[in-house]
């Protein structure tokens, strides 16, 4: 997506509020400056296999911690397509940095914006958009991944508080978050009464214990964590949306999260392409630049096709999501966005994996090394076929759409 494509497309997307061409140009410049300042730090942290605190601190400095948050809540007010483009740009620096933004905005701020009360919005959105408060989304548990309804985290009302108990697992930003959207069931409830709710949980206090998860083959620089809540008290008015509406909130939020994963994968493909073009023109073997060997051009063509097709799928999905966001309550538009985003996520994450593999091959022996960017993308994008809904779950969604709801194979 060139900036020109973006401008045209965004104007057809009935962009949120008053996100002008000038706002867009400023945000593109800020994200570019962020990426350039981040790259040398990210390089070192990745090679040291260490968490990179500059991902968040530089995002705060460049004012990009709330890109899709409306201006009235302190954000930049970006439309879905522009935000998708920004995530792709950030992911050229790596899936780690982009995952921070997914946790903060796509699945952190988004559900508060969509389902929060005005008071909740005012308490969480301006601070998080300013980078003074980090957010995360806590759905997955050790025994509940693809089927979150198997979760065992609970809440109970006690006076003015909600008391939380349970463990959340593999949560992006989970050990650095000041607040997490946690999904939980009423304590002791069974049968029809066992309905999941979404609760904004402030993480301060000893009853909230968190731990970074280090055994990752990639994405070293972002935070992946588990946390446990043991009689952890939160404000009684921190339930997000209606009681029992948590599953719907989670599924709606994942539409936003999946678009961010797909966009990130596009960024990985773009970076692989840039790196490979440069390498193909500078590396010589058999008396000429390797780019002059036709089989190397075959790899390049495949990466370029992965880029072009992913870009088209993401643009289509982002426009569908924008249309849905512009018409809250329109179930048909939400279903259309859900489907197109699932397709984009499935397609782009597989395309990025294959593109990175071609890129590694072009780099030869150096390709199989974290010192070079293609291999980092290869190992980082693998998780994109797993988190925010696995490949299999995306395929089941397509099966149900093609065959009819009766054929839904989730159960």
Give the footprint of ligand FAD on this chain (CB under 6 A). Answer: 103, 136-140, 145-146, 170-172, 219, 224, 383, 386-388, 390, 392-393, 396, 410
163 neighbors 153 (Cβ within 8 angstroms)? no
Nearest CA among 47, 43, 67 for reference residue 55: 43
Nearer to ligand FAD, 114 or 293 (CB): 114
Tell whether the torsion through CA atoms of 114, 119, 122 and 127 is positive or negative: negative
CA 245 to chain centre: 22
Nearest to 240 by CA among 184, 291, 176, 174: 184
The answer to whether the beta carbons of residues 304 and 298 sit under 8 Å apart is no
Residue nearest to ligand FAD (CB): 145
Cβ contact 159:236 at 8 Å? yes
Work out how close the CB of 323 gets to ligand FAD at its nearest, in angstroms, rounded to a whole number. Answer: 26
Closest distance to ligand FAD from the beta carbon of 404 (Å) = 17
Give the nearer residue to ligand FAD in terms of CB position, either 170 or 318: 170
169 and 176 Cβ atoms separated by less than 8 Å: no
**Tokens 């097709």 appear where?**
309
Nearer to ligand FAD, 175 or 322 (CB): 175
The distance of closest approach from Cβ of residue 173 to ligand FAD in the complex, given in angstroms and rounded to an integer, is: 7
Residues for the chain: how many in total?
Answer: 411
At its nearest, how many Å lie between ligand FAD and the CB of residue 389?
A: 6
d(CA 211, CA 226): 6
- Nearest approach in angstroms of CB 169 to ligand FAD is 7
State which H helix or E strand residue 111 sits in.
helix 110-115
Residue (of 39, 55, 61) closest to 96 by Cα position = 55
Rg from Cα positions in the chain: 21
Closer of 150 and 278 to ligand FAD (Cβ): 150
Pick 290 or 352: Cβ nearer ligand FAD? 352
* Nearest-approach distance from CB 24 to ligand FAD, in angstroms: 28
**Least distance to ligand FAD, CB of residue 349, Å:** 12
Asked if 148 contacts 92 with a C-beta cutoff of 8 angstroms, the reply is no
Q: With respect to ligand FAD, which residue has the nearer C-beta, 103 or 131?
A: 103
**Exposure string over 220-229, b if 16+ CB within 10 A, otherwise e:** bbbbbbbbbb
**Which stretch of DSSP H or E encloses residue 31?**
helix 21-47
In the complex with ligand FAD, the residue whose CB is nearer, 283 or 401, is 401
CB of 254 to ligand FAD, least distance (A): 9
149/335 with CB nearer ligand FAD: 149
Measured CA to CA, the distance from residue 145 to residue 87 in angstroms comes to 25
Name the minimum Å distance from CB 251 to ligand FAD.
Answer: 12
Comparison of 225 and 239: residue with beta carbon closer to ligand FAD: 225
């Amino acid at each position: 997506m060139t900036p020109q494509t973006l401008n045209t497309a965004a104007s057809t997307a009935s962009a949120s509020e008053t996100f002008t061409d000038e706002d867009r140009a400023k945000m593109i410049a800020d994200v570019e400056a962020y990426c350039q300042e981040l790259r040398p730090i990210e390089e070192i942290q990745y090679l040291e296999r260490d968490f990179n605190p500059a991902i968040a601190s530089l995002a705060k400095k460049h004012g990009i911690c709330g890109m899709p948050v409306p201006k009235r809540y302190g954000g930049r007010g970006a439309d879905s397509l522009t935000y998708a483009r920004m995530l792709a740009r950030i992911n050229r620096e790596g899936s780690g940095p982009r995952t921070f933004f997914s946790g903060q905005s796509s699945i952190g701020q988004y559900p508060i914006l969509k389902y929060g009360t005005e008071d909740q919005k005012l308490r969480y959105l301006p601070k998080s958009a300013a980078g003074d408060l980090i957010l995360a989304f806590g759905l997955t548990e050790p025994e509940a991944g693809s089927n979150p309804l198997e979760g065992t985290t609970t809440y109970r009302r006690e006076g003015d508080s909600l008391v939380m108990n349970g463990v959340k697992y593999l949560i992006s930003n989970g050990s650095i978050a000041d607040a997490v959207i946690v999904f939980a069931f009423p304590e002791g409830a069974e049968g029809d009464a066992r309905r999941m709710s979404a609760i904004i949980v402030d993480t301060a206090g000893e009853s909230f214990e968190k731990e970074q998860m280090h055994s990752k083959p990639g994405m070293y620089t972002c935070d992946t964590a588990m946390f446990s809540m043991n009689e952890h008290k939160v404000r009684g008015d921190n339930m997000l949306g209606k009681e029992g509406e948590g599953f719907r909130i989670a599924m709606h939020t994942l539409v936003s999260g999946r678009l961010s994963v797909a966009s990130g994968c596009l960024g990985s493909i773009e970076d692989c392409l840039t790196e490979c073009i440069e390498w193909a023109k500078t590396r010589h073997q058999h008396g000429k630049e390797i780019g002059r060997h036709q089989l190397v051009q075959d790899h390049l063509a495949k990466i370029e096709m992965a880029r072009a097709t992913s870009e088209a799928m993401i643009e289509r999905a982002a426009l569908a999501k924008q249309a849905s966001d512009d018409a809250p309550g329109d179930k048909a538009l939400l279903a259309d966005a859900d489907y197109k985003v699932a397709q984009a996520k499935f397609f782009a994450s597989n395309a990025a994996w294959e593109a990175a593999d071609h890129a590694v091959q072009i780099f030869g022996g150096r390709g199989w090394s974290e010192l070079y960017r293609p291999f980092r993308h290869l190992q980082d994008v693998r998780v994109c076929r797993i988190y925010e809904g696995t490949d299999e779950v995306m395929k089941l969604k397509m099966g149900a759409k093609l065959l009819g709801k009766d054929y839904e194979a989730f159960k």
